[in-house]
Structure 1
């Protein structure tokens, strides 16, 4: 694959903005929304990491609709106060008090890592939190320490159970990060649905129809009308399909099962909220907080056969997979985390692609907060 050509084609309508100014802009906008400077720096770092990895659904595109708008509505606390409910040798329970999920997530994963350094494993759960950005950010906190990282989070109901059409479960990623002896770790960061709301929003901004099989309607058939789907996902008139798709033929029960595992772990260990309690509306239709739960696990290979042994074998497995026979018409096999690493190799030289709709949002926030930012795309 010609990476440069494919990126140029994929983002031909976008303006490219350097990461340093984009991250600074997000931090400044967050501070002007009432978030303390130190916390804004944490959140900005999580968001920009998404854009660096090519995960366009969870970076600058989430700044206004998920965070600033919810702060404006009064359903998310800009100041994050974290209570330690329980703290044992290898386990802890935190309450984020409806604060910023990124801040709670970084604290929780660091606690899990510190416990793993001392005891081999650590697990920390969080309740009453909010959307925490890309799950992959937290597992790479562990891989950077030579450890295995695991995290999951529940979310507002989006997925219909197999043989159902009602959105009951969140997109609930079950995310793993494994250190390797390569330039990048193995990071499996994906929703337990065929697609997720953020990717559908990307399609919406581009004015594109959805691929068949991503969304199921109330009549049990697939939906592709992106703009109406985004509305109907919120009102419960459409639902995402679990990994494997509609019904059992493609293994949809597997995605449904894993989404349920994440839901239970995100709620039950911390005595937190689940499923319809995360709808974000009360019985009168008023917007209310989304009291999400997260879990974070760190495992130190040093307590097994050693970090270097683990990394060498993990890297060898990845290389053997990539070197295996290719299907006709395909010249590469990827392992998890490789495409994100390649996206960064390109983007660290070119910056972040910003589509026209997002350019307007950035200008709106800049003008609202009277920030001193000027971008090349304004000249066009």
Structure 2
């Protein structure tokens, strides 16, 4: 994971030349926060978790001056002492240095500004947070050289923890010291090679905000509802695979589905990420999803087929859709209808796969008439599902253009993700029963619902409403998947059309050149934000690899772990029809 906005910190340009083994980066784990946050005790316990040579530097030990006064002179002395200790421990052979203290911008942290470019040290910051009364209680119970009154006057520094670039904030108010250490150790274990330190599996709910997230003091009271648990991507795949396997998914299908959900979570799309695991398990229990089913193809014409999903997992159905649509590469257009599929998941991967074969793809997906949580234009209750569109076009030599979007203001999973995270949704996504915008995600899930998703375009939303109606008609009526007035779901239905990009006489290269010209046209225009250039759909700037550490809501992760260890013979109903 990135630390300090990706900066790496070294020990100085005059360091001795070392062998390749000796120059492996040393990890500096900084525990920062206001006085009373618990940094010292956390550092003492944490350093014992590492299974490689590790050292602890406590700023209290190198700044115990009297009379104590936090000013520029103290910061300078503290900076020199910390440098000396750091150099000594590195010479000794430390692979990890735990540093506890008030390391904040504008204070001690500034003494290390010249070290932020050296690649031999890797810094990671954990910001320990607590409410003022909690800080005061801890300070009064902890005897130090500095007077309690002086330390009490610095409780406002808790607000500054969020200003540390890349900081991983930890709310300690409701935790024991052991729980705080367990939380940080779990995050460290996810970052480092196996065996670097001992860390128990996170059992949550431990409040921690993702790297770089700013949490103000006014939000602290509610942070318990937004608690998350750090978990490595590898562990997430393993546990999700186990949970789906317990529900009856065959091992290869469970692995493939889990990998897709983890990839979505890592890509910052929790609406199609880990929250789907309990949903899939519940769907199996309700007989709405048959994990061992296999989709079937029925030929309805020379270039047309109907795929009967048979309530099979979406990962299997998508593979069959891609196979059938690929036939367009060898001849004329292909039309594929879809009925009764399990949740298809993200559609963009299907678009990229088909477009990668030189094909244009048009796709329209509904929920077989179920999932009615989207208000029509001028309405206030759910009449449509989110009814996504999928459009893809090859544009060689660059990446294909891919559009995967709901015809509602947001995917329903976005609201559910906010509900699980304990946060509000932005204005304009939900409509209350009075037609006004609301931001409480819970209102979408009351019985009866007290809110509906807004159509694309907001409360008026005529364009999103019209698109939803056409998708419902094409997928529900034309493909026969079921529609809002005659539901056959829940599940996904759809209509897909694929044809060669050169079908109208223009080569793929010519189309690609035209798309490149469009891209340059966009880049040449003025921008609101000079750091963010306009882009074509499907051509987002992506990191070279997905994050290795996920931070799902603690309650969600705890539920998935429970599902992974549940006796599959209890609570899971068989498929209503033979698979």
Short-chain TM bin: 0.7 to 0.9
User: Cα offset for 1:263?
Assistant: 0.7
1:377 maps to: none
**What is the CA-CA distance between 1:24 and the residue it aligns to?**
4.2
- Give the structure 1 partner of residue 321 of structure 2: 108
Q: Give runs of aligned pairs for residues 1-380 of structure 1, distance below 5 A.
A: 8-10=211-213, 17-64=231-278, 66-114=279-327, 116-155=328-367, 156-181=371-396, 184-231=399-446, 235-247=448-460, 252-278=461-487, 290-303=490-503, 304-327=505-528, 331-339=532-540, 341-342=541-542, 344-345=543-544, 347=546, 350-368=548-566
What CA distance in whole angstroms lies between the structure 1 residues aligned with 2:385 and 2:339? Answer: 15
Which structure has more helix as a fraction of its residues?
Answer: 1
Q: d(CA) in 2 for partners of 1:10 and 1:185?
A: 33
Question: 1:295 aligns to what SS in structure 2?
Answer: strand
**Bigger radius of gyration:** 2
Q: TM-score by structure 1 length?
A: 0.81
Does the 8 Å contact 1:71/1:78 carry over to 2? yes
Measured after TM superposition, the shift of residue 162 of structure 1 is 0.9
TM score, norm. by length of structure 2: 0.55
Is the 2:228–2:554 Cα contact (8 Å) retained in structure 1?
yes
Query: What's the CA shift for 1:37?
Result: 3.0
Deviation at residue 317 of structure 1 after TM alignment: 1.7
CA deviations over 1:149-184 (Å, ceiling 9, x no partner): 332211211111111122111101112122334664
Cα distance in 2, alignment partners of residues 199 and 165 from structure 1: 19
Q: How many angstroms apart in 2 are the aligned matches of 1:178 and 1:83? A: 27
For residue 188 of structure 1, give the secondary structure of its aligned residue in structure 2. strand
Post-superposition CA distance 1:259-300 (Å, at most 9, x none): 11111111122222111544x9xxxxxxxx514312223222
Give the whole-Å Cα distance in 2 for the aligned partners of 1:119 and 1:31.
40
Q: d(CA) in 2 for partners of 1:365 and 1:191?
A: 30
CA spacing shift, 1:76–1:276, aligned 2, 3 Å = farther
Deviations 1:207-262 (A, max 9, x none): 22222221112222222222233335xx3442111111112xxxx11110111111
CA distance in 1, matches of 2:479, 2:413: 26
Q: Distance in 2 between matches of 1:268 and 1:258?
A: 15
What is the count of residue pairs matched by the alignment? 349
Deviation per CA, 1:305-355: give whole Å up to 9, x if none.
22233233223323432342112676432332344x52x43525x344433
Distance in 2 of aligned mates of 1:314 and 1:51: 30
Higher mean alpha-carbon deviation, 121-130 vs 296-305, is at 296-305
Higher relative contact order structure (alpha carbons within 8 Å, sequence separation ≥ 6): 1
| Partners of 1:144 and 1:353 in 2: CA distance | 32
8 Å CA contact 2:241–2:258 kept in 1: the answer is: yes
Q: CA deviation at 1:16?
A: 5.2
SS in 2 for 1:255: helix
Q: What is the CA-CA distance between 1:99 and the residue it aligns to?
A: 2.4
Residue 378 of structure 1 corresponds to none
CA shift, 1:113, in A, is: 1.4
Task: Describe the shift of the 1:243–1:321 C-alpha distance in structure 2 as closer, same or farther (beyond 3 A).
Answer: same
* Secondary structure, counterpart of 2:211 in structure 1: helix
Unpaired runs of 5+ in structure 2? 7-164, 167-209, 216-226, 569-579
Instruction: Please tell me whether the aligned partners of residues 240 and 564 of structure 2 are also in contact (alpha carbons under 8 angstroms).
Output: no
Structure-2 separation of matches of 1:253 and 1:334: 26
Alpha carbons of structure 1 residues 345 and 328: separation in structure 2 relative to 1, 3 Å: closer
RMSD over aligned CA atoms reads 2.9
| Aligned mates of 2:567, 2:317 — CA distance in 1 | 26
* CA 1:321–1:150: 2 relative to 1, 3 Å: same
Which structure 1 residue ranges, 5 or more long, are not aligned? Answer: 281-288, 371-380
Looking at structure 1, the residues matched to 514 and 550 of structure 2 have their Cα atoms a distance apart, in angstroms, of 34
